[in-house]
Structure 1
Amino acid sequence: MHATTKLLLGGSLTLAIVMGVGRFLYTPLLPLMQRQYGFGADVAGLIASANFAGYFAGSMLAAFAARGRARRLAFQGGLLASVLTTILMGVTDDLSLWLALRTVSGLASAFAMISAAGIVAEKLARIGEESRLAWMFGGVGAGIALSGLIVHVLVDAFRSSTLWVLVGTLAALLVPVAFLFLRERELPVSRRPADPRRRVPRPLPFWPLFVNYTCEGLGYSVFATFIVALIKSRPGIEALGDWVWIVTGIAVLPSCLLWGRVAERIGFASALALAYVAQIVGVMLPVVSGAPAAAILAAILFGGTFIAITTLTMPLGRHGLGGRGFAVLTAGFGLGQMLGPLAAGYLVSGAGDYTLPLAASAAVLVLALAALLVAIGGRREGASPQA
């Protein structure tokens, strides 16, 4: 296997484990957990927010392990902790322990993801192949789809506690492969000719972009937490609940690569605006329609944009604030995704269904798009047309 392929596969497996499973296995298991343990949407939102809070803290702390041995240890430790906390979710029914485990899981996923992405991005940059990083982020979709499929097949046969342990154990079997493939290795120089027509990212004004990305964190997290529970609560289409999440994961797989190609043709800012339009439509579809086709299309549009929006945003803002743009944008995103499920959970408890919080999250995404358009409009005149 080619050295670059090994590196990308190791990164992809890492994201499948710590994001697709460690972070998002909670979504398809949530309806089953609610039936078995009897907690409401307010507690469900609290558990989700604990994980996002851990991710927020972990993304800040990961900045201190940006190079060398510290980064390697952060990657390995985060990967192991993610698997362990996933398994331990199945051996207790105590809410306080759940909150602690989900917080540590969030920390672990941030350490592993940021460290792994840093290793892969650095090595690809040295050979002029930065665009291939999109292949790594497809691992999130693979983890979502495969874990969602396991839950769908076994949901009637096992309790949620058993499924936490089972999926966590299966993920643990992949950890040695990720360790083997994702190493600080030098890659052979690429022989692919450069495309002179390719657009490159040009920075946007930072603070409107910060508002945009913070709103994205809040808006996306509501759909990502509650969409399966919403579909399963609707008579006539409840059987689609698990499939909606599986389709979401499948849609993630090619999304970063496809949106990257779009960005290189029409500009990164323009591609980002189009991705927001698609995501807003996807979030609103289950609000305005109870049809099965609307649920599936919503999954495709959401899965096809929520990871890609991150990969399009970072090149536009990472150089802001004297090079601290990546960290500050991540902080805003983390704050938004902490608040989203928590607020949505209380709205569900009051209204009795998930329609209102989903509509509210779509409104927040409209605000995100508006802030992005302000940023695009405020870009310095006379700069390069490449964006």
Structure 2
Amino acid sequence: MNSTVKLLLGGSLTLAIVMGVGRFLYTPLLPLMQRQYGFGPDVAGLIASANFAGYFAGSMLAALASRGLARRIAFQAGLVASVATTILMGFTSDLTVWLVLRTISGIASAFAMISAAGIVADQLAKVGEEGRLAWVFGGVGAGIAASGLVVHLLVETLASSTLWVLIGGLTAALVPFVLVLLRERPLPPSRRPADSRRRVARALPFWPLLAGYTLQGLGYSVFATFIVALIKSRPGIEALGDWVWIITGLSILPSCLFWSRIAERIGFSMALVIAYVAQIVGVALPVASGAPVAAILGAVLFGGTFIAITLLTMPLGRHGLGGRGFAVLTAGFGLGQMIGPYVAGLLVAGEADYTLPLAASAGVLTLGLIAVVLAIRGRSDAPKPRMPD
């Protein structure tokens, strides 16, 4: 295993632990938690929003540790805290404690994810291999799929509290390997041949791009929180609930690399539009139809786009606002995903019917797509460079 592979594997495992499990284990466990503890959709949305609020705060604080020893400490602390809060979720049934734990978990996942991605990106940039960062984000899908499979296999045997502890314990066993793998080290030079046809991202007008990305955060978070609960509430396809989430995770694995290649061929802006359309269709399918194929195809389209949209958006807006574009885009996205699950939970409180918020989610994503199209049109009215993206 050469040093580049070690670095990429360490980054991928980090995102599997802190995002795939620490952040998204709540989704497959939600129906089981509701049966075990008896809370409704309003509380379910509140718990999800607490985690997203923590991520929002953590992403802002992580900007203070963007280099050197401070970033390394932020990565290590975030990784350990994410695992610890996952395990501790199984030791309490108190709502206030849950909210505190999920908030801390969100902060920790942001610290670990942003710091780990920064370490990997900086090392890859030194050898001209920035494009390989897409492999790291596939770790989110690996964590979602693996934890979702464990839940599926044990859902009839173990309580949700036990599954929090068990899956958290499994991730804890990976932490020592991650700490060894993910560190600054010399990498071999790139062997990727130069390609003059490769397109690069060209900035879009910032404010409509920010509006689209904020709406993306709001829309995706509803699906990511409630899709398993929706499928399990439908007679005849309840057994698909866990598999829909596993398929979502598996679809993430190749998606970032796939969309990176697409963007290099047709341009980042056009790739972003297509990804939005695919995600809207994916969210709308299980709303419009109760057929098993609609749920499965929806999971494939959603999983295949929701991480990739971030990878496509950031290069288009990161230089905006005098170089503060990355932080502001992250804040907008965080605000959207913090609001989404809470409002969705209130919409269906006491009814256990998640069709309405998922339909609203598709509508919000459509508004996000419109904002992105307006951003592209705004750029098309400006003087064109010789090589647009």
Aligned-partner SS, 1:238 = coil
| 1:208 is the counterpart of 2:211 | no
1:345 partner letter: G
1:102-137, Cα deviation, whole Å (9 max, x unpaired):
000000000000000000001111111110000000
Output aligned runs, 1:11-90, within 5 Å: 11-90=11-90
Aligned-partner SS, 1:249 = helix
* Match of residue 353 from structure 1: 353
Scaled by the length of structure 2, what TM-score is found? 0.99
In the alignment, the residues of structure 1 paired with residue 84 and residue 144 of structure 2 have an alpha-carbon distance, to the nearest angstrom, of 18
Structure 1 residue 383 displacement after superposition: 2.1
**Cα-Cα RMSD:** 0.7
* Match of residue 381 from structure 1: 383
Structure 1 residue 350 displacement after superposition: 6.1
Report if the CA contact (8 A) 2:27-2:224 is conserved: yes
| 1:116 is the counterpart of 2:116 | yes
In the alignment, the residues of structure 2 paired with residue 128 and residue 331 of structure 1 have an alpha-carbon distance, to the nearest angstrom, of 29
| 1:312 is the counterpart of 2:315 | no
Output aligned runs, 1:231-270, within 5 Å: 231-270=231-270
Deviates more, 1:193-202 or 1:272-281: 193-202
In the alignment, the residues of structure 2 paired with residue 70 and residue 272 of structure 1 have an alpha-carbon distance, to the nearest angstrom, of 33
In the alignment, the residues of structure 1 paired with residue 52 and residue 224 of structure 2 have an alpha-carbon distance, to the nearest angstrom, of 12
* Match of residue 189 from structure 2: 189
1:246-290, Cα deviation, whole Å (9 max, x unpaired):
000000000000000000000000000000000000000011100
In the alignment, the residues of structure 1 paired with residue 41 and residue 105 of structure 2 have an alpha-carbon distance, to the nearest angstrom, of 21
2:280 partner letter: I
1:162-201, Cα deviation, whole Å (9 max, x unpaired):
0000000000001111100100112121122111110000
Aligned-partner SS, 1:89 = helix
Structure 1 residue 238 displacement after superposition: 0.3
Report if the CA contact (8 A) 2:40-2:350 is conserved: no
In the alignment, the residues of structure 2 paired with residue 128 and residue 228 of structure 1 have an alpha-carbon distance, to the nearest angstrom, of 40
Scaled by the length of structure 1, what TM-score is found? 0.99
1:124-163, Cα deviation, whole Å (9 max, x unpaired):
1111111000000000000000000000000000000000
Unaligned runs of 5+ in 1: none
| 1:274 is the counterpart of 2:274 | yes
1:97 partner letter: V
In the alignment, the residues of structure 1 paired with residue 386 and residue 162 of structure 2 have an alpha-carbon distance, to the nearest angstrom, of 56
1:45-93, Cα deviation, whole Å (9 max, x unpaired):
0000000000000000000000000000000000000000000000000
Aligned-partner SS, 2:349 = helix
1:221 partner letter: S
In the alignment, the residues of structure 1 paired with residue 352 and residue 100 of structure 2 have an alpha-carbon distance, to the nearest angstrom, of 28
In the alignment, the residues of structure 2 paired with residue 310 and residue 217 of structure 1 have an alpha-carbon distance, to the nearest angstrom, of 10
2:318 partner letter: R
Q: Note closer, same or farther for the CA distance 1:338–1:384 as it changes in structure 2 (3 Å cut).
A: farther
In the alignment, the residues of structure 2 paired with residue 46 and residue 348 of structure 1 have an alpha-carbon distance, to the nearest angstrom, of 13
Aligned-partner SS, 2:348 = helix
1:170 partner letter: L
Report if the CA contact (8 A) 2:233-2:352 is conserved: no
Identity %: 77
In the alignment, the residues of structure 2 paired with residue 8 and residue 31 of structure 1 have an alpha-carbon distance, to the nearest angstrom, of 34
